[in-house]
Structure 1
Amino acid sequence: MTTILFLIIAYLLGSIPSGLWIGKYFFHKNLRDFGSGNTGSTNTFRVLGKKAGIAVFAIDMLKGTIATALPIMFGLHTFSPALFGLCAIFGHTFSIFDHFHGGKGVATSLGMILGYNPKFMIFVVIIFLVMVYLTSMVSMSSIVSGIIAFLATLIFPALHFIFTNYDWLFTFVILFITCFIICKHRDNIARIRNKTENIFNFGLNITHQKHNI
C-alpha cells in the first residue's frame, strides 16, 4: 500500500505543469496558444524567454529527481527507484492538472536519471550537448541521447563503467522513455526529414535545417 501511495505521489509531482502556470501567472500567456503549443521548457524558451525557460527546465527536471528519490528517502526497496521516476514522467506528459496534456518528458527524464545515478546523468548530458552543437536541434539531440542512454545501460554494466551491475527495470524504463520520446517527437522527425525543423542559432546544423528560432 505504501508503494502505491508513493507511486501516486510521484505521478502528482510530475503533473505540476510548470510551463503552463509560469506562462499564465507571470506572463499572462497560455503556452498552448504559442509556438509548438507544448508546455515544456523548449517552447517556454521560444515564447517566454531564457529566464522562464531555465526555470521551467529546472522545475521539470527536479520533479523527476524528487520522485526517483522518494523510495530511497523513505527506505522502500520493493522496486527500482526508476519506476517512481517513470510515474513522474507520465505525470509530466499526461498532467492531471492540464487535462492530461503536458510536455515531451525530456527534462523530467533527465531528472529521473539524476535521482537514480548522477554519473550516468552527466554522461547523458554530455551526449546531449554534443548533439546540440552538431545538429542545432533539441529534438534530434533528445532522440539520439535517449538511444545512446539505452545502449549504455546494456553495455556499461558489463564493463563496470558507471554501473557495477544490471538493473533490468532501469534498462526497461530507459527503453520505454526513449520510445516515448521518439513517439512524442513524430512531428519533429517529419520536419527534420523536410529540412524545416526549428533550430537554434548555435552549432553546426549538420542536417541543414532552415528554420531558426
Structure 2
Amino acid sequence: MSLIVLIIACTIAAYLLGSIPTAIWYGEAYFGIDVRKHGSGNAGATNTFRVLGKRAGTVVLLIDAIKGWVATSIALMMYYGHLIGWEECQNLKLLFGFAAVLGHIFPVFSNFKGGKGVATLLGMVMSVHPEAALVCMVIFFLVFISFNYVSLGAIIASLSFPILLLLKAFGPENTLVIVFGFLLFGMIVITHRKNIVRLIKGQESKISLRSKKA
C-alpha cells in the first residue's frame, strides 16, 4: 500500500471514528431516549448534560474527547511505525483530527446531524499540543463556573488555543498549527452561531455544576 493510499484510508477511518454518535447511542441504550428530541435537540455532550444528567453527560464528553484524541494520534502510530517523519506526523495530526471533528459534526451514522464538535476538538488538541490544551481546559472551566454558559466557555477556550501558541512559553510552534487553530475557532463560532445570538439577547440556557435543591 502506497503512503498516499494509507493516508486517505486513515483520514476516512478518522472521520468514521468521529462519526460515532455517542450521545445518541448512549441515550438510547441506557435511557431509551433520543437526546435529539429533547433539550436543544443537539447530539452532543452539553445537551446530554441537560437532558440525561451529569453522569451521562460526563460519559459522553469523555468518549467524544477520546474519539478526537485517538483519531489524531493515528499519525503518531504512523510515525512510530517509521512510515513518516516528525514534521509529516504533526501535519497529519491536523488532517486526521479535523476529519474526526467533521465526523462528529456531520456523522454518517446519524444522517449527518451531530454535535458541535467541542469535545472531539478537545481530544484533537490534546494530541496536537497537550500543554496548550490543558490551559484551554482551565480557561473553559473558569468561564463556565463564572457564567454557567457552556457555549461561552467553548468559544473562548477555542480562541485561546491558537493565541497560546503565539506565546514563547508554548513555542516555537509550527505556523500551520497556529493557522489551523484559528480556522478551528472559526468553525466553533459557526457551529455556535445560534448560541452567540442567544448570548447577545440574554436568552442562552445556563447549566450549573451544583445540584439543585429540592
The question of a shared fold, defined as TM-score above 0.5 by the shorter chain, is answered with: yes
Q: How does 1:152-191 map to 2 (within 5 A)?
A: 152-153=164-165, 155-156=166-167, 159=168, 161-163=169-171, 165-191=172-198
What is the Cα deviation at residue 119 of structure 1?
A: 1.1
Is it true that 1:201 corresponds to 2:212 in the alignment? Answer: no
- Mapped partners of 1:102, 1:15: distance in 2: 8
What is the Cα deviation at residue 200 of structure 1?
A: 2.3
State, as a whole percentage, how many aligned pairs show the same letter: 36
What is the Cα deviation at residue 202 of structure 1?
A: 5.7
- Match of residue 130 from structure 2: 118
- Mapped partners of 2:134, 2:113: distance in 1: 29
Q: How does 1:127-138 map to 2 (within 5 A)?
A: 127-138=139-150
Q: What value does the CA root-mean-square deviation take over the aligned residues?
A: 1.5
- Mapped partners of 1:124, 1:95: distance in 2: 26
Asked whether the 8 Å contact 1:80–1:170 carries over to 2, the reply is no
Q: What is the count of residue pairs matched by the alignment?
A: 198
- Unaligned 5+ runs, structure 2: none
Q: Indicate the SS of the match to 1:133.
A: helix
Report the residue type matching 1:129 in the other structure: F
- Superposed CA deviations along residues 68-98 of structure 1, whole A, max 9, x for unmatched, are 1101112244334122111100000000001
Asked whether the 8 Å contact 2:43–2:115 carries over to 1, the reply is yes
- Unaligned 5+ runs, structure 1: 204-213
What is the Cα deviation at residue 148 of structure 1?
A: 1.8
Report the residue type matching 2:115 in the other structure: G
What is the Cα deviation at residue 166 of structure 1?
A: 2.5
- Match of residue 19 from structure 1: 23
- Mapped partners of 2:92, 2:174: distance in 1: 8
- Match of residue 44 from structure 2: 40
What is the Cα deviation at residue 150 of structure 1?
A: 2.1
Is it true that 1:56 corresponds to 2:73 in the alignment? Answer: no
What is the Cα deviation at residue 24 of structure 1?
A: 1.2
- Superposed CA deviations along residues 139-169 of structure 1, whole A, max 9, x for unmatched, are 011111112222222x22xx1x133x22122
Is it true that 1:140 corresponds to 2:144 in the alignment? Answer: no
Is it true that 1:102 corresponds to 2:114 in the alignment? Answer: yes
What is the Cα deviation at residue 17 of structure 1?
A: 0.4
TM-score normalised by length of structure 1: 0.88
Is it true that 1:71 corresponds to 2:56 in the alignment? Answer: no
Q: Indicate the SS of the match to 2:42.
A: coil
Q: Indicate the SS of the match to 1:100.
A: coil
Q: Which moved more, 1:59-68 or 1:133-142?
A: 133-142
- Mapped partners of 2:100, 2:17: distance in 1: 6
- Mapped partners of 2:26, 2:208: distance in 1: 25
- Mapped partners of 1:23, 1:17: distance in 2: 10
- Mapped partners of 2:72, 2:187: distance in 1: 18
Asked whether the 8 Å contact 1:6–1:70 carries over to 2, the reply is yes
Q: Which moved more, 1:110-119 or 1:13-22?
A: 110-119
Q: Indicate the SS of the match to 1:166.
A: coil
- Mapped partners of 1:31, 1:202: distance in 2: 20
Report the residue type matching 1:173 in the other structure: F
1:115–1:36 Cα change, 3 Å: same
